[in-house]
Chains A and B, each alone.
Chain A
């Protein structure tokens, strides 16, 4: 009643408002224009939109509430399909003095608020945009479905129509390119969730709320067709108590004493129950880091002595037995070293190994793991390394030792012919890199999906994805290390998604569908056409030619010489327009129409 009164009152004071639509790749600013990075599309807000939707997928668009003079409003979405409505947060970037939308605050329909949006603090804001996800379950009847959004504010109501044309095609559940989202430890959670941490108090890091929060991070990435990795130890080998069983003893008496925190943390992830209630359904996480490092489970004090092997084998054998007995055998456990000697805690580089003398350690840890874990164990473990300087040499020298390669994305272009060779011997091959910032065109986030697929690579790691910066809300640096945001500010004890994450998810869906046509169309044809549609490039443009530098000693390289040896192609940078992925989607939709029932 109170809200109705407020709306009636506003109606007498304010001029008419408007409601319009933009496709997903044309992001709006808080004044009704498309952001500069996406303007090359030439798209303007419209009153209707048609979205073609394969089944088992999302389709998305922006809803724009425009009230030039400001005032209260109510936005209502009605749909025969499930919808998720998010208010788009406009981040101020001091570097460019512009606003870009990215964080998505979940809201319920009908949604009531006013312009300017009180929390976002944008002077003279006239437009509030919303991200609308429409979920099309696998069992949806093909055909047209009408989604309507209505704006009530001062003056006459406004409405927009979205036609969802549900196709027969069903998006496969598995992805040809795993999009992985990396993070480090959990110490940042208390800082990003101050209200929750304060409410729980000193026991935060042992609380149910803490573990729920971790699981929420896994859930958000899973729901967006991604994977979440948390490295549980530091450069000095300190393991977070929730990342490993508690140990006791020393030498031959070293043993696992307590699984409580490990099981509370990983149990729901390893049996899949953490994902109950998600649209993709519960299933175990596909990958997880082991806490193994040079200081865990064996003390570095015994390195090179019998005690190191005894401590390592005792504990890892116990770990294998526990995981096996629990039935947590559908996840791949990664032996992975992240330390670098520049951080002064160990004497060899486990990450991005540069010096050949450091490579002997891999063989030793492989030996220890094989001693600890029976070859017939249903517990699957992988030996992963993140490779850059020496990757070509490592491919050869560490054959049979490393079977999970995560390679520097730029440099891998020099050696991309190795991808099928490595995969043929049973290895997994991913590449890694950063996350495009919000002020780049909307399509840039999809390059990290398409390039691995074109190169025949199995996955891509965004090396840091949960740190959007000290003040992402009002002094944003672009989000190069964050693709989700803490929900604490909005009273949500979970991460909230971003537009970039949504764009990535939608492209992942498309890619899964595209990949499913391999047997009919041929992988080469699909790749060539996808590349052509994306940015008008031939397949050769997606990898760097092998430079002369690659035939010299990597110990003599520098970042300058490496950078100079990776050609800059403007078709992937300045010239890449926001609509690039939409053209790929158009090609995929054409293929779905050509497909025989």
Chain B
């Protein structure tokens, strides 16, 4: 009940104005059910997670060079995200974000998809500070609709594990005018 109230407060103004936001919200709602938080939790390998926050001024790429995932967990999760993106009425991506276990104020995008759309990801970074909108999702379980970048809309929705804990979130993201050349690099 509490989360529903927050959802209305947060999401309604934009959704009322924009049918795309409404459509993405519907996908995000399904995503919260379909994305398996236990599997998502297993995507990054323990070795990679251990190296994620290491800082070596002589080797700024150490964490990236050691970034690694469990093939089965990754593939299963990505396929689910692709299926979800096919629910969107127009081009969209469904990205998976997971908090960094060793640093609660950091979050990392774990799976991106073909159009490489995101309103939050700083290109190339392995992890970043948790944006306020994501913190709200992780703390409350609310779905949050965001329009930070012109022409783009994201709906953030929680991902839960088998205990019912929120372990991550999805970003269902689209833009009013897709750019065919963007992100071909």
Contacts and interface: CB of A to CB of B under 8 A. Distances in A.
Contact of A558 (B59, B83, B114, B126): B59
Contacts of A27: none
A235 B116 contact: yes
B184 A240 contact: yes
Contacts of A354: 65
B124 interface: yes
Given A300-B78, A304-B75, A558-B62, A184 B184 contact: yes
Nearest to A232: B184
Given A236-B114, A560-B56, A560-B58, A347 B75 contact: yes
Contacts of B65: 342, 354, 558-559
- Interface size for chain A: under 10, 10 to 19, 20 to 34, or 35 or more residues? 35 or more
B139 interface: no
Interface stretch (B7-15, B18-26, B31-39, B175-183): B175-183
- Interface size for chain B: under 10, 10 to 19, 20 to 34, or 35 or more residues? 20 to 34
A240 B181 contact: yes
B185 interface: yes
Contacts of A341: 67-69
Contact of B116 (A345, A347, A348): A345
A475 to B, nearest CB: 22
B79 interface: yes
B149 interface: no
Given A234-B183, A341-B68, A559 B82 contact: no
Contacts of A238: 114-116, 183-184
A375 interface: no
B136 interface: no
Q: Is the interface of B mostly helix, strand, loop or mixed?
A: loop
A343 interface: yes
Interface string B155-185: 0000000000000000000000001111111
A301 B126 CA distance: 24
Interface in B73-101: 74-75, 78-79, 82-83
A344 B125 CA distance: 10
B29 interface: no
A344 B185 contact: no
B71 interface: yes
19 contacts: A184-B184, A205-B180, A205-B181, A232-B184, A236-B114, A236-B183, A237-B114, A238-B184, A299-B82, A301-B79, A301-B83, A303-B75, A344-B109, A345-B113, A345-B116, A347-B74, A558-B59, A558-B65, A559-B62
Interface of B: 56, 58-59, 61-62, 64-65, 67-69, 71, 74-75, 78-79, 82-83, 109-116, 124, 126, 179-185
